[in-house]
């Protein structure tokens, strides 16, 4: 699929999904964006096609999601973006473009938080580090020694942070990027 049509298709599908959710539930109070891909490659060999695809999914989709959610959302709503601790530390070769996309989310969240503050909509970024999933299980023994807590994170720990940010108790937290990585970037 051509990059231009791919980006347009993703935007249309995401806007439609947000509109369907708002219609189905009658209101939109919380939006969580958890889309992302990693296509590895060193900067000297990285293709523009892979670059455009990674930016489209990791950054553009987050922007479109925030925009669509804000248009459907009640005042006082919560928006949470799932980024990565690689926004702070690129720990391995071949991840420079991925890290760039996750760092872009930090700036996007800060700006969106300011833009939506008059409506009391909070916008925050959760930056998980090494987390135990089916995809990462093969890397666990390589990564655990690099984590001060000597273990991978659990998806329930990341979900708990997202749940807190979506709660009323987190109403004064906005524009924040919160890292949950067992001290990996400490």
Per-residue model confidence as pLDDT tens digits over 131-175: 998 878 788 888 899 999 999 999 999 999 999 999 999 999 999
Q: What is the mean pLDDT of residues 58-85?
A: 97
Q: What is the mean pLDDT of residues 89-96?
A: 89
Residue ranges of domains in the chain, CATH in brackets: 3-180 (3.40.50.720)
Q: What is the mean pLDDT of residues 2-11?
A: 69
Q: What is the 3-state secondary structure (H, E, C) of the chain?
A: CCHHHHHHHHHHHHHHHHHHHHHHHCCEEEEEECCCCCCCCCCCCCCHHHHHHHHHHHHHHHHHHHHHHHHHEEEEEEEEEECCHHHCCCCCCCCHHHHHHHHHHHHHHHHHHHHHHHHCCEEEEEEECCEECCCCHHHHHHHHHHCCCCCCEEHHHHHHHHHHHCCHHHCCCCCCEEEECCCCCC
Q: What is the mean pLDDT of residues 109-135?
A: 95
Share of the chain above pLDDT 70, in %: 97
pLDDT at 95 over 70: yes
pLDDT range class, residue 1, cuts 50, 70, 90: very low
Catalytic residue among 46, 98, 164, 184: 98
Per-residue model confidence as pLDDT tens digits over 20-65: 999 999 989 999 999 899 999 999 999 999 999 999 999 999 999 9
184 is catalytic: no
pLDDT at 6 over 80: no
pTM over 0.75: yes
The mean pLDDT value of the chain amounts to 93
pLDDT at 16 over 80: yes
User: What is residue 5's predicted lDDT score, i.e. its pLDDT?
Assistant: 65
């Amino acid at each position: 699929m051509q990059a231009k049509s791919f980006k347009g298709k993703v935007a249309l599908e995401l806007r439609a999904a947000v509109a369907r959710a708002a219609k189905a539930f009658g209101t939109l109070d919380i939006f969580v964006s958890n889309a992302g891909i990693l296509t590895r490659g060193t900067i000297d060999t990285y293709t523009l096609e892979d670059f455009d695809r990674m930016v489209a999914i990791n950054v553009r989709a987050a922007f479109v999601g925030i925009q669509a959610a804000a248009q459907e959302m009640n005042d006082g709503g919560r928006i949470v973006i799932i980024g990565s601790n690689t926004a702070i530390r690129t720990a391995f070769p071949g991840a420079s473009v991925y890290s760039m996309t996750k760092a872009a989310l930090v700036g996007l969240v800060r700006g969106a938080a300011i833009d939506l503050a008059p409506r009391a909509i909070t916008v925050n970024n959760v930056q998980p580090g090494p987390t135990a999933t089916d995809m990462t299980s093969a890397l666990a023994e390589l990564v655990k020694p690099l984590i001060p807590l000597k273990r991978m994170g659990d998806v329930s720990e990341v979900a708990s942070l997202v749940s807190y940010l979506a709660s009323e108790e987190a109403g004064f937290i906005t524009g924040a990027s919160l890292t949950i990585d067992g001290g990996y970037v400490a």
